[in-house]
Structures are given as structure tokens and as C-alpha cells.
């Protein structure tokens, strides 16, 4: 069982370049999330999707866009990368209802550096 | 933003020791509480939920004090494998995925 798979694991971009981080889950979860983790900061929510067809902004959405392509896949796009977006990005999923709402399953992360 | 605060540590303890972490939260309306564990350079994983009555899972005990707005995690008989960063997570509102707040984490290092 793969769980949550995100690609790539590492990426180096130049300022102004664009890229898409891919995420897929095979647990039939309704909800999916994108977080970023920076040194000295807690995980911060960028965007989430409570169910297929819906997306909502989290705490730090500026500079990002997302697409919930289907129930399995949730991608994060940086249209014009900036050095402030250097971070570790985690995709996560959860059942999204009841007591399983907050039981998040995370992907292994993407280390992104913007030069 | 100091909605969820944790002592960053590191807590350096010998094997077999008992260690406790606290986490304070600022929003009294917070609904649910969790501890996640994150190994170095790895993804966070749910360790346990925290219930009002307190709950135990093997060597781990979690407690909630709503009056003082803190949750705690107690680890008994520490193992080398317990070395990790422990993240306190608070959900500000019931039934909403967008309101999970992660603390910065407390680092634990268990030494032989």
C-alpha cells in the first residue's frame, strides 16, 4: 500500500520559474492538503481540498495554485517561484469526516530550493 | 502567531527515563488535540489523539487540561527509537479541515 505519494523529492528552481508538485493517494480519502514546513516554524497549510471538486485557501496561499484533479490527485503549482518559497512541502490526506477528520497521512515531502 | 506553543527542546534523556512535554494553545474554543511524531527528514505521523479524559497507548500517555489550555505527552521507559520531534496539533473548530494548527515541535533525543 503506497499511501500518499508525492513527486519530486527534490527540486531546484531559479526565481521566476514555474513548477507543479504532484500528489496522489490510494486510500480513497476525501480530503487532501498541501503544507509547507520551514525551520523554526510549524507546518503551515497552503491549500486544502475537503472533497473532490472543492479547494480552499489555508494560512499561506499566496504564490500558489492547486488543482484537485480527481479523488486521488491534488497538485500544487508555483507560477513564478520566489526565494521565499524555499521550503519542504508535504502533501497529506485524510478521511475528512467524523473522528477521522484530523488523522492525516503525509507524503514523504519535497525539498524545494529557489535560487 | 503563537496559537500553539511548545518548548523546542532538545530534551536529552537516557534510555529508560520518563519524559514529559507540554503544549499550550491560545484559543479556548479549540475542539480537538493530537500529538504527531516526526523523525529527522521524514514526514509527520499521527502518534495519538488527546481526549478530555486522558488516554494511554502503551508507554505513551496524553492528557488535556482545558481550564489551563494545555495538553501533555508523557513517555515512560524511553527507548532509543523514541528520538524524534513531537508535534502538538490543535483543531480550532469541529469538523473543519482548514483549522489544524501545528506547533513547532519538541525535539527528543534518547541516549544509550
Mean pLDDT of A95-112: 81
B66's grid cell: 482545558
- Chain A residue at shortest CA distance from B48: A103
CB atoms under 10 Å from CB of A92, counted, come to 27
pLDDT value of residue A98: 57
B-chain residue closest to A60, CA distance: B98
* Closest CB from A35, A41, A48 relative to B104: A41
Buried b (16+ CB within 10 A) or exposed e, A31-48: bbbbbbbeeeebbbbbbb
pLDDT digits (tens, 9 = 90+) for B44-77: 999 998 888 889 999 999 999 999 999 999 999 9
Looking at the complex, does the CB of residue A102 fall below 8 Å from at least one CB of chain B? Answer: yes
pLDDT at residue number B95: 57
Annotate B4-41 with DSSP letters as a single string. Answer: EEE----EEEETT--EEEEEEES-TT--EEEEEEE-TT
State which residue of chain B sits closest to A95, comparing Cα positions.
Answer: B97
pLDDT at B3 (0 to 100): 86
CA atoms within 13 A on the CB side of B104: 13
Cβ neighbours of B24 in A, within 8 Å: none
| β-pair partners for A106 | A92
What's the gap in Å between the CA of B103 and the closest CA on chain A?
5
Q: Which of A91, A105, A78 is nearest to A11 (CA)?
A: A78
Using CB atoms within 10 Å of the CB of residue B101, give its burial: 0 to 12 exposed, 13 to 18 middle, 19+ buried: buried
Amino acid at each position: 500500500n503506497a499511501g500518499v505519494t508525492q513527486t519530486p523529492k527534490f527540486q531546484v528552481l531559479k526565481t521566476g520559474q514555474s513548477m507543479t508538485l504532484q500528489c496522489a493517494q490510494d486510500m480513497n480519502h476525501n480530503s487532501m492538503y498541501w503544507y509547507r514546513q520551514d525551520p523554526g516554524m510549524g507546518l503551515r497549510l497552503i491549500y486544502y481540498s475537503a472533497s473532490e471538486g472543492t479547494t480552499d485557501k489555508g494560512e499561506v496561499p499566496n504564490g500558489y495554485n492547486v488543482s484537485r484533479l480527481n479523488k486521488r490527485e491534488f497538485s500544487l503549482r508555483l507560477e513564478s517561484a520566489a526565494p521565499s518559497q524555499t521550503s519542504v512541502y508535504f502533501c497529506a490526506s485524510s478521511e475528512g469526516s467524523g473522528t477521522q477528520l484530523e488523522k492525516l497521512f503525509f507524503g514523504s515531502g519535497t525539498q524545494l530550493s529557489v535560487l | 502567531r503563537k496559537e500553539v506553543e511548545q518548548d523546542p527542546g532538545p530534551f536529552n534523556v537516557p534510555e529508560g527515563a520518563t519524559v514529559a512535554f507540554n503544549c499550550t494553545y491560545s484559543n479556548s474554543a479549540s475542539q480537538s488535540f493530537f500529538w504527531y511524531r516526526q523523525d529527522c527528514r521524514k514526514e509527520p505521523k499521527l502518534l495519538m489523539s488527546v481526549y478530555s479524559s486522558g488516554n494511554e497507548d502503551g508507554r505513551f500517555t496524553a492528557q488535556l487540561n482545558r481550564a489551563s489550555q494545555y495538553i501533555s505527552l508523557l513517555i515512560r521507559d524511553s527507548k532509543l527509537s523514541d528520538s524524534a520531534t513531537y508535534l502538538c496539533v490543535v483543531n480550532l473548530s469541529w469538523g473543519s479541515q482548514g483549522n489544524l494548527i501545528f506547533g513547532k515541535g519538541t525535539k527528543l533525543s534518547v541516549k544509550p
